[in-house]
């Protein structure tokens, strides 16, 4: 069996920046264990497998794997898959079947190797639990208790398909200097796969509104350069404090800067009578390479 694959950088317009992604095309017939092994072989935060859809009106079925686990939903694989399919099919919208549900992504071509995709969340974020012990959060992140919290934002666990511990910190300096204490990490972050999204507002940065870092040891990842699923969960916390009643709020979030892999993620939320009714994630992606997996004996 030989399978074509593409390598992309996602949440960026610049090659060798952003979050790397492998997209395996025409992956029908692969067993779950084979897809997991291929994802482990690539060693990237996520690998996407594109298969034939179940629904006639849909573009593709998409499976998403980290080196350790399959995910029901992830943002940068969704953006990357949408850009690949938009370029290949020369369409302005694609319908993706993911385990979390059906996702419609709008696509805009930049050139023959890059474009931008935006999609509405198939599952709106929900609050799972509070995180009230700021001392253990600070200890797990190598910060002071006074660093935990940012304005109206307080820690909590949210999910838009994947659970994240959302921890606001007071400024970008605290975000930059945090250091993980893995000995107490499971005690501080007990939910799901112990994934943590540390974020802050950036009023002094003209190009973005928010900055974040993401760590997911339970997914086989260290630090992730750009995490759409975490940004989707963050929409839940942002919406609770978005004083818009009925209307829309847009944010630009940077991630990966501390790793030298800057990502730019666009976030959109819409409320009706102070209830969240829509969340959206978007970003650019650019193809940086291609190859063939040779799985013949």
- Give the tens place of pLDDT for each residue, 129-152: 999 999 999 999 999 999 999 999
Same domain, 130 and 277: yes
Same domain, 247 and 288: no
Same domain, 110 and 189: no
Same domain, 247 and 142: yes
Same domain, 105 and 174: no
Q: What is the CA radius of gyration of the chain?
A: 19
Annotated catalytic residue within 14, 34, 41, 46: 46
pLDDT average, residue stretch 262-267: 98
Same domain, 275 and 132: yes
| Angstrom distance (rounded) from CA 180 to CA 109 | 39
Whether 46 sits among the annotated catalytic residues: the reply is yes
pLDDT digits (tens, 9 = 90+) for 157-200: 999 999 999 999 999 999 999 999 999 999 999 999 999 999 99
Same domain, 99 and 236: no
Same domain, 157 and 253: yes
User: CATH no. for residue 22?
Assistant: 3.10.310.10
Percent of the chain with pLDDT over 70: 100
Number of separate domains in the chain = 2
Tell me the whole-structure pTM to 2 decimals: 0.96
Same domain, 150 and 261: yes
- Residue 297 confidence (pLDDT) above 80: no
Place of tokens 């934002």: 153
Domain that holds residue 32: 2-119+284-294
């Amino acid at each position: 069996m030989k399978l074509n694959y593409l390598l992309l950088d996602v949440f960026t317009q610049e090659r060798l920046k952003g979050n790397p992604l492998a997209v395996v095309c025409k992956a029908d017939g692969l067993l779950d264990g084979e897809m997991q092994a291929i994802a482990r072989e690539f060693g990237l935060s996520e690998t996407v497998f594109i298969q034939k859809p179940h629904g006639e009106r849909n573009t593709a079925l998409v499976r998403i794997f980290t080196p350790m686990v399959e995910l029901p939903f992830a943002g940068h694989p969704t953006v990357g898959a949408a850009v690949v399919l938009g370029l290949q099919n020369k369409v302005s919208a694609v319908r993706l079947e993911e385990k979390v549900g059906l996702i419609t992504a709008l696509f805009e071509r930049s050139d023959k190797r890059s474009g931008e995709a935006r999609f509405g969340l198939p599952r709106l974020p929900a609050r799972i639990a509070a995180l009230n012990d700021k001392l253990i959060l600070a200890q797990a992140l190598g910060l002071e208790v006074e660093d935990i919290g940012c304005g109206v934002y307080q820690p909590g666990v949210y999910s838009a398909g994947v659970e994240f511990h959302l921890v606001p910190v007071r400024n970008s300096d605290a975000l930059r200097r945090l250091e993980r204490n893995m000995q107490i990490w499971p005690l501080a972050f007990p939910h799901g796969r112990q994934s943590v999204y540390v974020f802050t507002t950036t009023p002094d940065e003209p190009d973005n509104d928010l900055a974040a870092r993401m760590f997911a040891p339970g997914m086989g990842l260290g630090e992730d350069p750009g995490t759409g699923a975490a940004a989707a969960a963050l929409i839940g916390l942002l919406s609770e404090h978005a004083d818009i009643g009925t209307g829309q709020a847009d944010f630009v979030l940077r991630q990966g800067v501390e790793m030298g892999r800057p990502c730019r993620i666009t976030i959109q939320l819409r409320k009706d009578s102070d209830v969240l009714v829509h969340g959206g994630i978007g970003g650019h992606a650019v193809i940086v390479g291609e190859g063939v997996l040779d799985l013949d004996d």
